[in-house]
């Protein structure tokens, strides 16, 4: 990715004034322009200097010099780093729908371009990334614990938990649906940048996370690593196959669910307890059939799941036991029957469930 740096840099006061949280274009409806920008005749020297800096940055963004910023120039501006001082020229990462939302919001007079007044509001609203490319790349590598060049749902979950903002599996699905633009089941670097631009992540918080990460475990290089003693949330067939291949001596239980399914939510905690109790024998995988195109295909074609919750137990990739419904006692009994030397005791003992097998 090629970065082009301008000759002038913003002052410290300007950087501090713009803030670190970057709002989404679609999230802001009230436009408040500072008084100094409206009554230029009443500006003091400091305000005039800021206005001159804004004019310089507007001219920088107006590449063809025609007095306004067109759609492609706006894209380049929104993809820039260091508050618009460094432009990324080798590839585009801002999704078309995000660009369209920004144009729709800030092109107030609907003439198809961004004027200087409209540009000022973009700056005042803090839409530009403030960090350097190296800082964002370092943050990405810190979250990519496996070192495979992408961020999976488990890694994303650990990030938010470490930042003091743990998210549920359903919330993770929402985040992946929002930011996994290509439905790959992973977050690539351009999609990671969008999280910063939309204020979901903050570089200052990430600095703390990266400091803690220095003492962490090494990279495995795997697409996804099983979460021992808990469920591993997946979004692609490739992730599922990777987990099966990495655990040839264990059963793999696919918990098929839908985000709006109440019985599925009711089975969440019982399955987590089973995952902890049988962690030496079973890998539990959570698969939401409505998460993306890939999970829908796994539901319909690979496992032909027609009702949820559904539990499909695999041995070396082949189904050996299937159960639908929320009978946790029957589920545990069925799983124990497949283990040669199960652990002592049951989480949900039931004579009826055992007799039904």
Give the pLDDT confidence score for residue 14 in this predicted structure.
Answer: 39
Peptide bond into 309 cis (omega under 30): yes
**Separate counts of helices (H) and strands (E) for the chain:** 17, 7
Query: Same CATH fold, 133-210 and 50-125?
Result: yes
Count of Cβ atoms closer than 10 Å to residue 113 Cβ: 18
> In terms of CATH architecture, what is 50-125?
Orthogonal Bundle (1.10)
Strand-pair category, 282-288 with 251-257: parallel
What residues in the chain have per-residue pLDDT under 70? 1-43, 89-90, 212-221, 351-357
Domain ranges of the chain: 50-125, 133-210, 231-356
Residues 6+ apart with CB under 8 A from 305: 256, 289, 299, 312
Residues 6+ apart with CB under 8 A from 236: 184, 185, 186, 292, 294, 295
Give the pLDDT confidence score for residue 30 in this predicted structure.
Answer: 43
Q: Check residue 67 and report its DSSP letter.
A: S
The per-residue pLDDT for range 85-132, each reduced to its tens digit, is 888 766 788 889 889 999 999 999 999 999 999 999 999 888 889 899
- Quote the tokens at residue 22: 């970057």
Backbone phi, psi, residue 280, to 5°? -85, -5
Distance CA 153, CA 36 (A): 45
Residues 6+ apart with CB under 8 A from 212: 162
Q: Check residue 42 and report its DSSP letter.
A: G
- Quote the tokens at residue 220: 């495995």
Distance CA 236, CA 184 (A): 7
Distance CA 309, CA 215 (A): 39
Q: Which CATH number fits domain 231-356: 2.30.30.40, 2.60.40.10, 3.30.930.10, 3.40.30.10?
A: 3.40.30.10
Q: Using alpha carbons only, how large is the chain's radius of gyration in Å?
A: 25
The per-residue pLDDT for range 225-263, each reduced to its tens digit, is 778 889 999 999 999 999 999 999 999 999 999 999 999
Place of tokens 């003492």: 215
> In terms of CATH architecture, what is 133-210?
Orthogonal Bundle (1.10)
Instruction: Supply the angle between the helices 45-61 and 71-78 in degrees, to the nearest 10.
Output: 120
Give the pLDDT confidence score for residue 21 in this predicted structure.
Answer: 41
- Quote the tokens at residue 11: 């002052």
Distance CA 86, CA 4 (A): 5
Q: Quick one: 173 exposed, middle or buried, by C-beta within 10 A (0-12, 13-18, 19+)?
A: buried
Q: Quick one: 355 exposed, middle or buried, by C-beta within 10 A (0-12, 13-18, 19+)?
A: exposed
């Amino acid at each position: 990715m090629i970065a082009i740096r301008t000759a002038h840099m913003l002052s410290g006061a300007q950087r501090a004034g713009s803030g670190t949280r970057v709002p989404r274009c679609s999230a802001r409806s009230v436009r408040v322009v500072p008084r100094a920008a409206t009554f230029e005749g009443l500006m003091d020297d400091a305000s005039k200097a800021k206005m001159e800096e804004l004019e310089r940055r507007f001219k920088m963004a107006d590449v063809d010099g025609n007095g306004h910023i067109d759609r492609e120039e706006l894209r380049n501006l929104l993809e820039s780093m260091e508050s618009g001082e460094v432009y990324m020229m080798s590839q585009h990462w801002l999704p078309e729908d995000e660009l369209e939302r920004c144009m729709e919001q800030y092109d107030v007079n609907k003439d198809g371009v961004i004027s200087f007044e409209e540009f000022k509001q973009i700056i005042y609203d803090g839409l530009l990334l403030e960090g350097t490319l190296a800082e964002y790349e370092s943050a990405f590598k810190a979250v990519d614990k496996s070192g495979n060049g992408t961020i999976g749902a488990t890694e994303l979950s650990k990030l938010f938990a470490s930042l003091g903002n743990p998210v549920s599996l359903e919330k993770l699905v929402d985040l992946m649906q929002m930011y996994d633009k290509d439905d790959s089941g992973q977050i690539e670097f351009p999609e990671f940048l969008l999280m910063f631009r939309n204020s979901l992540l903050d570089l200052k918080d990430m600095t703390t996370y990266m400091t803690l990460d220095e003492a962490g475990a090494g990279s495995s290089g795997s697409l996804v690593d099983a979460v021992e003693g808990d469920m591993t949330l997946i979004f692609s067939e490739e992730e599922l196959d990777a987990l099966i291949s990495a655990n040839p001596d264990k059963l793999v239980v696919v918990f098929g669910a839908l985000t709006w399914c109440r019985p599925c939510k009711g089975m969440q905690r019982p399955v987590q307890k089973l995952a902890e109790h049988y962690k030496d024998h079973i890998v539990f995988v959570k698969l939401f059939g409505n998460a993306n195109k890939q999970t829908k295909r796994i539901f319909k074609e690979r496992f032909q799941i027609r009702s949820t919750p559904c539990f499909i137990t695999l041995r070396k990739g082949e189904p050996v036991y299937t159960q639908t419904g929320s009978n946790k006692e029957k589920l545990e009994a069925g799983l124990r029957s497949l283990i040669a030397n199960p652990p002592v005791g049951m989480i949900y003992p039931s004579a009826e469930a055992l007799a039904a097998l």
